[in-house]
Amino acid sequence: MLAVISVAMQTIFWTAISWRDIRTRIIPLWPEILFGIAGVAVSIGAGRSVWEIAGGAALGAVICALAYVSREEVGYGDALCVGVIGVWNGISSGIWILMCAMLLLVAAAIPLLLLKKATGKTRMPMAPFLTAGMFLVEVPALWMTL
């Protein structure tokens, strides 16, 4: 039952964050931090090991380093999203969610580039793709546990 509540809470939260990212290109810091703290509590309640939770947070640190190296081509808010998703879902699911998000982002970018609606410099919000990736990974996993 905790897994169902977790996926429902994440879906609602990440949908709201995605909406804000699409409209303003800003990901709010404090709601993410508070949701990350809640994610630690939920993950511990779900029986995840400390290493699984810390590994999920480390995914965000890796993306944060990428943001620094790329001069924020990937934003720090996106890195925080990845870290919070990793804390909520653990490192193994976090990697799959990140891979799905990247594939969806590329799948959305290719038609825009081909139709000349975007260039290589066009910035796209990442939160909606992370939300979709989370949904695509966690809902089937949830379905298999019911």
Residue 63: predicted pLDDT = 96
**pTM summary value:** 0.94
Q: Is the pLDDT of residue 146 over 80?
A: no
Q: Look up residue 93 and give its two tokens.
A: 């699911």
Roughly how many angstroms between the first and final C-alpha of the chain, as a whole number? Answer: 9
- pLDDT-derived band of residue 144, with 50, 70 and 90 as boundaries? confident
pLDDT in tens, 39-52: 999 999 999 999 99
The rounded distance, in Å, linking the Cα atoms of 56 and 64 is 13
Query: Mean pLDDT across the chain, nearest whole number?
Result: 95
The rounded distance, in Å, linking the Cα atoms of 66 and 35 is 23
Q: Is the pLDDT of residue 37 over 80?
A: yes
Phi, psi of 16 (to 5 degrees): -65, -45
Residue pair 67/74 in contact by the 8 Å Cβ criterion: yes
Q: How many alpha carbons fall within 13 Å on the CB side of residue 13?
A: 21
Q: Is the pLDDT of residue 143 over 90?
A: no
Q: Is the pLDDT of residue 120 over 90?
A: no
Residue 2: predicted pLDDT = 85
Share of the chain above pLDDT 70, in %: 100
User: What's the average model confidence in pLDDT over 78-83?
Assistant: 97
Phi, psi of 119 (to 5 degrees): -120, 180
